[in-house]
Amino acid sequence: MPNYRLDLSYDGSGFHGFARQPGQRTVQGELEQALLTVIHEQIETTGAGRTDTGVHARQQVVSFRSERAHDLVRLVRSLNGVIGPEVAIWSAHPVPDGWSARFSAEWRSYRYFIDNQPAADPLERHRAWHVHYDLDLVAMNEAAAHLVGEHDFTSFCRQVPGRSNVRRILESTWSKSKLVEFYVKSTSFCHQQVRSLVGLCADVGRGHVRPDDVPGVIAARNRARVGSIAPPHGLVLWEVGYSELDG
């Protein structure tokens, strides 16, 4: 059975997250329905990241197996005709047997956008969190530096019984052009981790938390230590990294 990779992006505003859920409109559910319509197979896909309700993706990666080989140029065109405009399939290509969009990924990166001005920009309202108070980006970058490395991020993640919240963050930085932007790259993320990291850094930026308090928040492994969770609509799954040899 051929194994395929799809690269796609989506506006998450109208979806109850990526992962299929009974009775809910999800990206994965819509994609699998589109595949059924186009290739007439009941396909089960695997995604690189399980984005939450309202979260967007610049690059989501999906893998699936099919009963037969396909004309991939035609497949992309046909899928876009069914699933657009909220979702766009950018490419499709064959991958080795056993390759998985989720388990073959070496890292994922997210960006979070903040509209930091007194009045909200109407053109950014669906993709940026409006924060009207001043933010100290120097302090926020000091806080972000403490996040890099391998830590138990239980203070930042929704606890799932039987699962570890130890994660290794590779990069964590704040910058500003028109929007204030958080970039974070990790081997993997746990549930609500990025939005909680943004919430804590925003509290640092407004002077409610000191940058040097961040190691203590991490060490506490206590969800109550993070007072703010940023809303989902400012978050974008930005990129997924694979070995050049297998993906």
| Structure confidence by residue, pLDDT tens digits, 89-123 | 999 999 999 999 999 999 999 999 999 999 999 99
**Mean residue pLDDT across the chain:** 95
Please indicate, yes or no, whether residues 111 and 211 belong to a single structural domain of this protein: yes
Q: What angle do CA 202, 204, 210 make, to 5 degrees?
A: 165
| Structure confidence by residue, pLDDT tens digits, 197-222 | 999 999 999 999 999 999 999 999 99
> Which tokens belong to 122?
């109407």
CA-to-CA separations, 109 to 9, 22, 165, 209, 211, in angstroms, rounded:
14, 28, 17, 25, 23
β-pair type (235-241, 56-65) = parallel
Please indicate, yes or no, whether residues 118 and 209 belong to a single structural domain of this protein: yes
Residue range of the domain that includes 170: 107-241
Domain end among 61, 94, 127: 94
Task: Read off the pTM.
Answer: 0.95
Please indicate, yes or no, whether residues 9 and 62 belong to a single structural domain of this protein: yes
Residue 99 within a domain:
no
Please indicate, yes or no, whether residues 114 and 75 belong to a single structural domain of this protein: no
Q: How far apart are CA 203 and CA 210, in angstroms?
A: 9
Are the beta carbons of 49 and 191 closer than 8 angstroms? no
Residue 125 pLDDT exceeds 90? yes
Provide the pLDDT for residue 189. 95
Residue 101 within a domain:
no
Residue 11 within a domain:
yes
Please indicate, yes or no, whether residues 133 and 231 belong to a single structural domain of this protein: yes
User: Catalytic site residues?
Assistant: 52
Residue 245 pLDDT exceeds 70? no
Are the beta carbons of 68 and 3 closer than 8 angstroms? no
Provide φ and ψ at 31, rounded to 5°: -65, -45
Please indicate, yes or no, whether residues 151 and 176 belong to a single structural domain of this protein: yes
Q: What is the DSSP string of 113-171?
A: EEE-SSS--GGGTTTSEE--S---HHHHHHHHHTT-EEEE-GGGS---TT---EEEEEE
Residue 246 pLDDT exceeds 70? no
- Above pLDDT 70, what percent of the chain? 98
Query: Closest Cα partner for 49 from 3, 93, 104?
Result: 104
Q: What is the CATH number of the domain that holds 196?
A: 3.30.70.660
Domain end among 94, 120, 144: 94
Tell me if residue 104 falls in helix, strand or coil.
coil
| Structure confidence by residue, pLDDT tens digits, 126-152 | 999 999 999 999 999 999 999 999 999
| Structure confidence by residue, pLDDT tens digits, 39-89 | 999 999 999 999 999 999 999 999 999 999 999 999 999 999 999 999 999
Please indicate, yes or no, whether residues 194 and 76 belong to a single structural domain of this protein: no
Please indicate, yes or no, whether residues 144 and 212 belong to a single structural domain of this protein: yes
Q: How far apart are CA 122 and CA 104, in angstroms?
A: 39
Q: How far apart are CA 98 and CA 239, in angstroms?
A: 21
> Which tokens belong to 71?
């004309």
